[in-house]
């Protein structure tokens, strides 16, 4: 079982909100991890959006709009990237990442269609 | 404004060593506030961290690649480099260099994830 699991795709309408999940493998407690989120558009490098561990330990990437926010769902053992007020330019692949077992580990990515 | 630029051969023969350099401009790799890393992405696939270096030479490698990876830094040129030995087709990927902010200063080995990335360079391993 992969350390981080992301849905392969998600579709949402312009102006709506999208909740992208990053589920940690059973036995790995989401509470103890900083979860990072990256956006990648075709032909471009990943772009750092934010990191989230808790409301007191979080950081927004430089220039990243506040409509991108992070949270956790402890009951689902998952990190969440919430994108509100979806715009066509938000259409991209989104990757989550954590530091686990002495390595930076990425999720498989979610392709968001707007 | 910080910029990172990857460079190196775009084609490597199987069993040979893949060598890439990342040139940093608009900032110094000798800063105690940052670490510097390599990440790759095979065609149509996800991201894989390769390793990270602090300017003093402390290195941190992905355990899955550790036996084949060497990352070094040249502070006089403001560059850091990647060598991946015994290349195979599975090493064909876009290779990115990136910056990691330090969680604590003075190279204690605690650092955050990547916050600034280079544009990437494509490396193909093929005869």
Q: What is the pLDDT of residue B106?
A: 66
Q: What's the whole-number average pLDDT of chain A?
A: 97
Compute how many other C-beta atoms are within 10 angstroms of the C-beta atom of residue B13: 11
pLDDT of A9: 98
Give chain B's mean pLDDT.
95
CA dist A92 and A75 (Å) reads 27
Average pLDDT of A22-33?
A: 97
Residue B105 has a pLDDT of 65
| Distance (Å) from the alpha carbon of B74 to chain A's nearest alpha carbon | 24
Q: Which residue of chain A is at minimal alpha-carbon distance from B64? A: A103
**Whole-number Å distance between alpha carbons of B92 and B96:** 13
d(CA B127, CA B125): 7
Q: Residue A72: pLDDT above 90?
A: yes
Report the chain B residue with the minimal C-alpha distance to residue A106.
B47
Q: How confident is the model at residue B49 (pLDDT cuts 50, 70, 90)?
A: very high
Residues of A in contact with B113 (CB under 8 A): 34, 36, 48, 51, 97, 99, 104
B82 closest CA partner among B7, B29, B3: B7
For A98-111, how does the pLDDT look when each residue is reduced to its tens digit (9 = 90+)?
A: 999 999 999 999 99
- Residue range A79-102: mean pLDDT, rounded: 97
Per DSSP, A27 falls in state T
A108: chain B residues, CB-CB within 8 Å: 46
> Does position B104 have pLDDT exceeding 90, yes or no?
no
Distance (Å, whole) CA B117 – CA A46:
7
Is 90 exceeded by the pLDDT of residue B63? yes
């Amino acid at each position: 079982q992969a350390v981080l699991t992301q849905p392969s795709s998600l579709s949402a309408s312009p102006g709506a909100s999208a909740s992208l999940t990053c589920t940690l493998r059973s036995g790995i407690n989401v509470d103890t991890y900083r979860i990072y989120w990256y956006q990648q558009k075709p032909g471009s490098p990943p772009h750092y959006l934010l990191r989230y561990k808790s409301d007191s330990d979080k950081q927004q990437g430089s220039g990243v709009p506040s409509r991108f926010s992070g949270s956790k769902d402890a009951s689902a053992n998952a990190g969440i990237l919430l994108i509100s007020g979806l715009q066509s330019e938000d259409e991209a692949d989104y990757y989550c990442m954590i530091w686990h077992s002495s390595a930076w580990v990425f999720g498989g990515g979610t392709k968001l269609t707007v | 404004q910080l910029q990172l630029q990857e460079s190196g051969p775009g084609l490597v023969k199987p069993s040979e060593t893949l060598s890439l350099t990342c040139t940093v401009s608009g900032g110094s790799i000798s800063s105690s506030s940052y670490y510097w890393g390599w990440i790759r992405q095979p065609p149509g696939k996800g991201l894989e961290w390769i390793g990270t270096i602090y300017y003093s030479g402390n290195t941190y490698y992905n355990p899955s690649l550790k036996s084949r990876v060497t990352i070094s830094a040249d502070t006089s040129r403001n560059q850091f480099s990647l060598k991946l030995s015994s290349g195979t087709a599975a090493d064909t990927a876009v290779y990115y260099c990136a910056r990691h902010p330090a969680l604590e200063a003075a190279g204690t080995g605690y650092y955050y994830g990547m916050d600034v990335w280079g544009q990437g360079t494509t490396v193909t391993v093929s005869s």
